[in-house]
Structures are given as structure tokens and as C-alpha cells.
Chain A
Amino acid sequence: MIPPVVECIRAAKSFGPTRAVEDVSFAVGPGEVVGFLGSSGSGKTTLLRLIAGFETVSAGEVRIADKVVSSPYDHVPSERRNVGVVFQEYALFPHLTVAENVEFGLGKLSRHERRRRSGRVLEMVRLDGMGRRYPHQLSGGEQQRVALARTLAPRPVTILLDEPFSNLDASMKSEMRREVCEILKESGATAVFVTHDREEAFAMADRVAVLQSGRLEQIDSPSALYHSPATPLVAKATGACDFLPGRIRGGRAVTDFGSLAVAACSGGLREGTEVDVLIRADDLQLAPDPSAAAVVTSREFRGDEVLLAVRTPSGATVHCRRHHYSTLECETRVRLFPVRSEPFVAFPRRPGA
């Protein structure tokens, strides 16, 4: 079995009384691209810095290529980890040219080799011929690519990217995302990146780790996360959703509009448990029915679709997606029926939640 490239085992980091990362464990395989998804303060950047070696763990271990690089008793400094880092603000050396920046990590090679390698990498990021410029003479996207080239040049075992596209404007962002993905795949690099943007995480990552308050909530492929979130938090982090109250009866969840087949999150669902059933906007379909109890409360035209909010008899609101020529207006009474092919996900309702 091929050992994982990056491994965190019960890693934790405290800054004084603040616990930035708590008990996080996961492994990244060779060639895999993993995204850390979380809001600010979720500990995702700290986790990245633990892997990079800029911070030391308070507990647990970080392993790279099957070697312990961080534990409370041992710390391999960043420069001996062979890990590449692309910073949010790129951190290009302002006093060096583009080529000198790229060659910065190639100290061990001969001058000729360095030239060749930097030329090769700059070509890969489509910046050949820009080697003599200074960073401040480049556009944001070009700076981004120089940062990537500089990181790729020494052939690191893994590349860590901290919010790599947050400094770019929206049109640039998707283009750069695609380019970076291509470059990463082309170089066959194992990569870990940090983002607060779900779309970015889903687009780039083979697997996404959802972090909340320093804890790893779930790590899985984007579709698995979306379809089978382990916690309500993951559900919310991976896409817009509603929770419909219900109660377990005979293995199904009984709700305002009938009983739904459910799978459960871990923990088991006993008969009579109060649950919240996760509803995504395309899980339900609706039909006008003057006798029905549910009412359309708002209508949002989005161009390619129409998003309707529907109030159920119990007072919960669920969203429902319709094709863009739907003419359903507010105050229309509608009947809801599930169209999801798989069982719904239900979370036992916590008392007081």
C-alpha cells in the first residue's frame, strides 16, 4: 500500500487559551487534491500552517511522506519538509525578479540547471519571457502564476495553497482556477488548499474537508458531502438547504407532507425520535392545489430558474427550484412531493436546537 503523502493524526494547536485546531485527523494520498473548506476562524489556515511547519502542534502529529515532521516533542522546520506553499498574498520577493523568485528554491542545483528549471516552470505557467520583470510590474493573475511557479520549481512532495484566488476578481478567478487545476494535474502534484468558497472547493478538490471551530466535521468527495452530509453543519457548508421537522415512525420520517424514506446520520434513529430532514432545493417538486396547506411565500427569478420559498403548515420554510418559465405566483397554494431518488438525510433534533 502506498503511504499517504500528508497525514494529520489527532493534531491540535492552541494559541494561549484559544484552541485553533482540535483533534484533527486525515490523510492525503499521492496525486490527490484536498480542499479545506470553512469560514474564517474555522482553523483551516492554522491547519495548513501546521503542515507547512510554520506552527508547531500542541498535540498530535503531522506526518509527511510517512515521516513525523511535527509532534509536541519534535519539529522539522519548514525548509526541511520539501513542502511548497502558495500564499494568499503571494509573498513574492519584491527585491527579486520573476526568474530570481522562481530560482529561489533551487539552491542545490547548478546555475545552468536552475535556469533550465525556472524556464521550464515559467513556461508551464505561461509566463515565459517575463523572467526579468519585477513582481510589481505584473498583474494580479500573473503574480499568482509566478507564486505557483516558484512553488512548483523545487518539485515539492506536496503543495499547500492558502486562499489562492481570493485576491483575484471574479472573472479572473474561474479562469485561474481552471489553469491552476491543469497545472497541478500536469505536474502530478499532491495539493492541499484552503478556501471559504464552496464552489472553488468542489471544482478543484478530489476530496473536501469541512472545518468548523477548529474541528474536522467531515472529509469526503464533493458529491458525497453534498448528498450525505454527516452533520447539519456540513450540510449547510456544502450548499443551501432547509430542515423540515419530522418524527420517525416505522423507519420513515413523518413530516407535513407525508412520510419520507430516510437514511440517518451516524448514531441511529430510534422510533419516535424528533428529526430534522435535510431538504435541498431540487429534492421536492410542487404542484398547484387550492386545497393544499402549503403556500408559496416568495418568488425569486434567477434567469435560468425560479426559486420559490414555500411555507408548510407547521411553519417551516422550504425552498424549491422550478424551471425558468414557471408562472407560479406568491400566495399560491401548492402540494409538495419528494422527487429524490435516494433516501433523505435526517438529523436527530438536539433538545433546544
Chain B
Amino acid sequence: MTSEDLRIAAAPRWQPPALPAERQTWTRPPAAVWLPVLLITIAMALPPVYLLLRSADASAEAWRLLLRPRTAEIALRSLSLAAAVTLASVALAVPLAWLTVRTDLPYRRVWGVLTALPLVIPSYVGGFLIISALGPKGLLQGVLQGPLGVDRLPSIYGLPGAALTLVLLSYPYVLLTVRGVMGGLNPAYEETARSLGLGPWAVMRRVTLPQLRPAVVSGGLLVGLYTLSDFGAVSLLRYETFTWAIYQQYQTSFDRSTAALLSAALVLAAILILVSEAWTRGRMAYHESAGARRPLRPVGLGRWKWPAILFTGAVVTASLMLPAWVLGYWLVRGLHAGVAMGSIWTAAFNSVSISALAAAAAAVCSLPVAVLVVRYPGIFAKVAERMSYVGYALPGIVVALALVFFGANYARPIYQTAWLLLLAYVVMFLPAALGASRASLLRVGPRLEEAARSLGHGPLRTFLNVTAPLMLPGVLSGAALVFLLTMKELPATLILGPLDFKTLSTQVWSASSEAFFAQAAVPALLLILLSAVPLGYLMLRDRARF
């Protein structure tokens, strides 16, 4: 046979020309993403850098102090407290989130606001209130003495009391992050599971909870790291943790290098927790398809309604009503005794405005980090994300002093201005906003961004017109969390605030530290009340959402 007989199926219309050899290409984040992230990461690195500088001055005595077996013991106490508080917070918060989001619990929006509010009670106030209420000779003992003749309650000092206090004050971290996700769950998954023959509990355990895991983990991380950095509650309830030891160095020895050395050790502990968190997080990439989603139908509680109300009511009573009642009691008693109350309206204004600014700043800063982490994963993203948690895990005084050092010596124009204070808040509270931003970005499918790009919108316009509006609900709840945290923040506000800068939390501290309880009660109550406003707004807006 001849070659003419051969039919060539597809005669090419042209011959492809020779081209240069293959080259590996990477998806690099644009400058609009990596540059802000770099700046934020540098800001986040200020406290650790400061700790290194200070640790370098540490004396042999300081090193001896750090390296004795006692240190390991204190570290272990810190970690076990963090673990206990985290687990208990999750156990409390997940059912609460479910009850207040997914069920027909009566007045669930009101419960939603009330269950989130304990977050604003400063821990030094919370600790004092717990002792006043549940101490060996506290209010509860007084109530029980009459009918039951209880002369003395068992001591709550130590791990149980510290853990109880911290759980009651910090379970809302988990609650808020879980609520955000729970409201957005696609009902199709649960319906599929039901159709496959799973009962309601099995659906909860095998479908709903696994979907909540990222939110539970990120909320739990906030609780755990907060517990590491708390001083107020552990000092009042006499549980010697690492942060407590750090404060001792500042308070009684005025020894910054030893404190820095101990803080550096705390940073290592925090990194340990972060690494283990990354390990549990695994490879998550949840994208919701951006199409139509039906609203969730509330689950009928039926005969479980009253037990559910009882449970929610008990948590709100212990974590919010009890403190509010003690504060109210102090106030009334003080007014009755003719105690003069200073004006707190300036402080209230300062609190609200600086907290709102901090919330906005943290939310804005969280956006590029979230975009980097979600859309351009890699070593830089990993470092930036981990780094953002360091400031949060450190005691406030350490972050504040680090910024005093850099601010007073290298950034004099912004030293003792609201700008540096805002920077401190961002350094401390970015993770609270980042968690929410990351979760909400994970829910915006990359197809939507690609669609915008193909329609001629550049990366920045795409972000502003498509990604940001869709992330907004999540970002706002992160901002609300930062708002609450800033409202009660104390050490950085005191140390870095502009001169004569008074906020509600500094007024609470100023009065309570000198045992002027009636004077402390007014700003403390106002703190709780003003914090309810953004929370209430978020809850109400949720209802109006499309």
C-alpha cells in the first residue's frame, strides 16, 4: 500500500512554532495583599522582638529562676488551666449556640445577646464577683446559712475557682464563632443525613458538629490563649500560672528582664498550642456554592423546651445576672451610704469610640491576612497567621511595654496618641477578627472572584465589589468581638493611652483597686450595657439578612 492511501484524521491547519522551554510558575499573591500582610506581621513581631532584647539583659539569677523545676510546674498549671477552660467553654457554648440559632427557643435573640455579654466583664471584676458570690463566706453561703445551717462553703480557690471564673467569662468566644457558622449551614447536608435514616442526635454528631469543627477550634483557641494571658482571675482565685509569675516580676521586683524571659517562655507555650491547633485543623477548604440557599427552619424543641430554657437561663444567671446583681447591689449600697459618683460620660464616650476604632482597624487588618491565608496558602501565609496570635497570647502588660519601648524611642510622634493605642489593640486582638474573616472568606467560593475578574474587574475592585460585601456579615461579627475585648482591655489602655485618657475599664480599675466598689459599679454596669448595643444590632440584622 502507498502513503496516499493513508488517511490522516486531523490535518493541522498550522504547525505550532518552537517555544522556550518549560518554566515553573507560582501563584504569587499581589502586592496589595502581601505588602499589608508584611506590615501587619512586622507589627505583630514587635512584642517578641522586644522580649528578645529584654531577655538579653537578663541576669544569671533570672536564668536560674527560669530554669528551675518550679517553672515547669507553673507552666503545666497554666496549660492544664487553659485545657480545662477551653474544654468546658466548648461544652457550654456549642449547645447554647445551637439553642439560640437553630431552635424555636422562646426569645432566642434576646438569649443570643445575653449569652454573649459576659465577655465584657473584665476578669479582675469577674474574679472578685465570683469570690463575693461563691467564696467560703460569700453570698451563696449567706443564703444557705439560714435554712441549711451551712457555715462555710468548700474553698473555691485554686484550679476550680479560676477555671469556673474564666469559663463563665470566656465561653462567649466559642459561642460567637460557632453562632456565625451555625446560622450559615446549608440545610441540604442535614436533610441528606435525615433521609439516610439518621436520627436527630446522630445528625448532630455526624453531620452538624463536624461542620462546626473549624469554628469550635478557632473559638477554643481564643479561649485557651486568653486563659494563658489572664492575670486578674488567676491572681484573685490564687492559681499560680505563668502570667501570674510574669506579673509578679513587674509588680514586686520591677524586674523587666526576668519578666521578659518568662514571657518568652509563654510565647513558646502559645506556639505549642498553635501548632497543635494547626494539626487538628488539617486541610480544610469549605466552599459553599454561591447559589441559592434556603433559610434554615428552626428545630422544634417540643417537651425539651423547658429544660432548654432552664439551661440557658442558668448559664446567663451565673455568668451575667449574678455579676450584674452584685454590681447593682454595690451601687445601691454605695448610693445609700452617700458615696459621691464621678462623671463617667467622658469615659463612656472614650470607651465606645476607641473600641469602635479598634474594631474597625482590626477588621480591616484581618482582611489581607485572611485573603493570604485562604487564597494563597504557603509558608508566608502560615507564618503570618501564627504570628498574629502571639500578641493575643501575651499578657497585655508585655505588649504594652513593648510598644512603649518602640513608641517612645523610635516613633515619638505617635507615642501617647490614640494611634499607638490602636496599634496595640490590633496587635492584641487581631486573631479575634481574623478567625471570623477567614471563616467567612472560606465561604465565598473562588469562582465568584474569577467571574468578576473575567468581567474586567481588577483584583482590588473585585475584592471591594464582590468579596468584601459577601464577607461582611462574618467580618462584622469578628469586629464585634474585638469591640467587646477592647471595651474591657486594661493594661494597654492604661500604659499606652494618651495622657488623661479615661475609659470605662480604667475607671472600673481605678475604683475597684482601691476598694471603692460603689464607684466601680457604675462604669462596670455601663460597660456591660454599652457592649450590648453592637451585639443586639448584629442579632437583629441577622434576622433581616437575605
Contacts and interface: CB of A to CB of B under 8 A. Distances in A.
A268 interface: yes
Interface in A57-82: 57-61, 71-73, 75, 77-82
Interface string B8-46: 111001101101111111010000000000000000000
A229 B9 contact: yes
A135 B8 CA distance: 49
Contacts of B458: 77, 79
B16 A218 contact: no
A87 B290 CA distance: 11
Given A58-B24, A143-B291, A220 B16 contact: no
Given A78-B453, A105-B456, A91 B448 contact: yes
Contact of A107 (B5, B17, B445, B457): B457
A91 B446 CA distance: 9
Interface in A77-135: 77-85, 87, 89-95, 104-105, 107-108, 134-135
Contact of A228 (B3, B9, B21, B25): B9
Contact of A52 (B5, B450, B466): B450
A34 interface: no
- Of A72, A108, A218, chain B has the most CB atoms within 10 Å of the CB of A72
Contact of B469 (A52, A85, A95): A95
Contacts of B16: 9-10, 25
Interface residues of B, number: 45
Contacts of B291: 89-90, 92, 94, 135-136, 143
A57 B22 CA distance: 9
Contacts of B453: 53-54, 77-79
Interface in B251-304: 289-293
B1 interface: yes
Contacts of B451: 85, 87, 91, 93, 150
Given A92-B290, A134-B546, A59 B466 contact: no
Contacts of A291: none
B470 interface: yes
B6 A84 contact: no
Interface in B41-77: none
B544 interface: no
A268 B6 contact: yes
Given A9-B16, A229-B9, A85 B454 contact: yes
Interface string A268-307: 1101000000000000000000000000000000000000
B455 A264 contact: no
A78 B450 CA distance: 8
A104 B9 contact: no
A84 B453 CA distance: 10
Contact of A73 (B20, B455, B457, B465): B20
A89 B290 contact: yes
B541 interface: no
Contacts of A230: 8-10
A94 B470 contact: yes
A180 B451 CA distance: 19
- Of B10, B14, B291, B445, chain A has the most CB atoms within 10 Å of the CB of B10
Interface of A: 9-10, 12, 14, 25, 27, 52-54, 56-61, 71-73, 75, 77-85, 87, 89-95, 104-105, 107-108, 134-138, 143, 150-151, 154, 160, 218-220, 224, 228-230, 234, 248, 251, 263-269, 271, 343, 345
Given A57-B25, A107-B456, 15 more contacts: A9-B16, A59-B21, A73-B23, A79-B453, A83-B454, A89-B445, A94-B546, A95-B546, A136-B291, A224-B9, A230-B10, A263-B5, A264-B5, A265-B7, A266-B8
